[in-house]
Each structure stands twice: as structure tokens, then as C-alpha cells.
A and B are shown apart, each in its own frame.
Chain A
Amino acid sequence: EDKVVQSPLSLVVHEGDTVTLNCSYEVTNFRSLLWYKQEKKAPTFLFMLTSSGIEKKSGRLSSILDKKELSSILNITATQTGDSAIYLCAVPGSNYKLTFGKGTLLTVNP
């Protein structure tokens, strides 16, 4: 059974701090790893990391895949209150199904 474990489960920081969120996975046939951001409503896609591209960046957010350690990190620099959300990590398994971690609840205080 595929497994995704995220840590920490919750995190409180001040605006301007840098945060690192962790995701480790166990999957039979690794294809990719995805990060989503979930504010009050539905998850929205952030990044997809595959074996052929181990780092992605978008503004203050970046993500790295470590295939040896079966893990990924999501970094957010110079955090803002608008970064407050649940960050979800997911890996696709058999039959095109995604297995999600429980998420990290990030709270950025002004």
C-alpha cells in the first residue's frame, strides 16, 4: 500500500520567516510527487516533481525531490500571511490514483 507522511503536521511562524515542509513517501512504482496548497476551499496545484526534474521554483516557493531518501521538501521564503494554508503532498500509485499525506497546516502571523 502506498504511503505518504508529512511533517510537521502544523507550524506557526511570523511573517518574513522561512519554512521547510517535509514529505516522505513509499510507493511501488515512483512516477512523480505533487504539492498542493489548500486554503479554505479546494486544493490547488503547486508543483509536480518527477525523476527527470528534481527541483521546481515559483516565486518564493521551491521544492526539491530526493529520490534516494524517498522524500521531498517544500520551502517558502519571506512568508506572508497569505501563505497560511494546508500544504498537501501526494504521489500517484496504481490505476492513476493519488495517495495524499495528512497535510501540514501552516499559520503565518503578522
Chain B
Amino acid sequence: NAGVTQTPKFRILKIGQSMTLQCTQDMNHNYMYWYRQDPGMGLKLIYYSVGAGITDKGEVPNGYNVSRSTTEDFPLRLELAAPSQTSVYFCASSSFRDRSFYEQYFGPGTRLTVT
């Protein structure tokens, strides 16, 4: 199993550009999450999904959009990138079938810089 994969690993965007961060998991997990991590700030939840077709906002959703058309994929869309969106983005997944769905499996992260 590859686990949770994210692409790209790094990206530099100009202000106002758009992009999609890709996230795929091959563990058949129901739950998927997008976090951002700023230096010294821990992880903040952007959006999450409890299954295909169902998404909901987390703590910091403004400026982002998500979709979940399949169990495996959970892309994060940035429209009109702003410098405040410079961060490291992590995708994660979890499943009720594991010993606890609170044990989230993280992807390797995408480092995004907006200038």
C-alpha cells in the first residue's frame, strides 16, 4: 500500500493564481482531511470528508474548496491564491475499521509559497 500520497511536493504560485492539491489514499478509508501547518502553529483543519460526496468545513476553510467524488481522492482547490495561504498542506485519512478512526494517516505534505 502506498498509504496517503500528495502531489505536488512543492509549488510556488503568484498572487491570484489558482491550483489544485491532489490527495489519494489506497486504504479504503472513509474519512479524509486537509490541514495546513504554519510555523509554530500546529495543524489547522481546512476541510474534511466523511465519505464520497460528503464534505464539511473545518476551522480555516476560507479561500479553499474541496470535492470528494470517490473514496480514494480528496483534492483541495485554492482559488485566487494569497500570501496568507503560504503554508505546508497535509492530507490525512482514517477509518472506523482500524482500531480507532482517530488514528489518522498523513501524506508527506505539499509546501506552497504564494508571492
A residues neighboring B (CB under 8 Å)? 9, 31-32, 34, 41-45, 48, 88, 90, 92, 95-98, 100-103
Contacts and interface: CB of A to CB of B under 8 A. Distances in A.
B108 interface: yes
Given A43-B43, A95-B56, A101-B42, A31 B108 contact: no
A42 B107 contact: yes
Contacts of B45: 97-98
A98 B104 contact: yes
Given A48-B100, A95-B56, A96-B31, A42 B106 contact: yes
The range of chain B's interface size is 20 to 34
18 contacts: A32-B102, A34-B103, A41-B109, A42-B107, A43-B43, A43-B106, A45-B103, A45-B104, A48-B102, A90-B43, A95-B48, A95-B50, A96-B48, A96-B50, A97-B33, A97-B45, A98-B33, A101-B42
